[in-house]
Structure 1
Amino acid sequence: MNQSILFTEMKVWDEQRQSVGFTAQQGGALIECWISKAGLEALSQRPVLDGPQALQRFEECRFDIEDLAEEQIEDEAYNEAGEIEVMISLA
Structure 2
Amino acid sequence: MNQSILFPDLQDWEQSSQVIVFHAQQQGMNIECRIGIAKLAALSGTNLTVTDQDIAIKALAVFETYRFDIEEEVEQLIEHEQFDELGRVIVG
TM range (shorter): over 0.9
Percent of aligned pairs with the same amino acid: 45
Structure 2 residue identity aligned to 1:36: G
Any idea what the Cα deviations from partners look like across 1:39-64, whole Å, max 9, x if unmatched?
A: 00001111224111100000010000
How far the C-alpha of 1:5 sits from its partner, in A, is 0.2
Q: Alignment partner of 1:30: what SS? A: strand
2:76 paired with 1:71: yes
TM-score (norm 2): 0.91
CA distance in 2: counterparts of 1:71 and 1:77, whole angstroms? 9
- Name the residue aligned to 2:88: 83
Residue correspondences, number: 87
TM-score (norm 1): 0.92
CA distance in 1: counterparts of 2:23 and 2:80, whole angstroms? 17
Partner residue of 1:53 out of 33, 41, 58: 58
Unpaired segments ≥5 residues, structure 1: none
CA distance in 1: counterparts of 2:17 and 2:74, whole angstroms? 18
Indicate the RMSD between aligned Cα atoms, in angstroms.
0.8
